[in-house]
Amino acid sequence: MLAGIPSVVYGFWGLVFVVPAIRNYVGGPGLSILAGSIMLAIMILPTIVSISEVSLLAVPPLYKEGALALGATQWQTIRGVLLPAAKSGIIAAIILGVGRAIGETMAVIMVLGNAVSLPASILDPARTLTTNIGIEMGYASGDHSRALFATGVVLLIIIMVLNSVAQLVLRRR
């Protein structure tokens, strides 16, 4: 159910709860990289958990029963049998979650602070690549428009590298 909530609702929730909590308990302006990271973690967690759960439930019950029958403990069965059998689905869930986090714009616009400067700390405001494209594309022209398009290409390359690394990890094991 959490995966179906629009990102603007997450952003509003972040403005109401996360940003003031950071401002009051950690310091800084509150609109920061830390607030954006917390919001993205909350947003991608349902995706990762639900896909991982489906992957774990797809493992045949005989695997678990066999490991337990051979004397493995519950934890040994999970770590040694169930997780390796569901590994490809769990990695796919992580890739989908990270891909959603990289492409997220609205919630991040609301809680990150939108500062066009290099942050020195996680408590400083910043601007993501997707946010930069979303904010500036409406009035961009000429070289500015081409630079924003190049930013989109950089995002595409980042996702492609992430997927390639995940494929390499899966093939090595």
The gap between the terminal CA atoms of the chain, to the nearest Å, is 33
- Average pLDDT estimate for 106-118: 86
Residue 162 lies in a domain: no
Residue 119 lies in a domain: yes
Q: Which residues span the domain enclosing 108? A: 2-128
pLDDT band at 129 (very low <50, low <70, confident <90, very high): confident
Residue 5 contacts residue 49 (beta carbons within 8 Å): no
pLDDT beyond 70 at 3: no
- Whether 137 maps to a domain, the answer reads no
CATH number at residue 26: 1.10.3720.10
User: Quick check: is 43 in a domain?
Assistant: yes
Share of the chain above pLDDT 90, in %: 50
Q: Report the pLDDT value the prediction gives residue 162, as an integer from 0 to 100.
A: 83
How many distinct structural domains can be found in the chain? 1
CA distances from 132 to 6, 43, 122 (A): 20, 20, 19
**Is 163 within a domain?**
no
- Within a domain: 143: no
Nearest to 162 by CA among 90, 114, 102: 102
Quick: pLDDT tens for 71-91. 999 999 999 999 999 988 898
Residue 115 has pLDDT above 90, yes or no: no
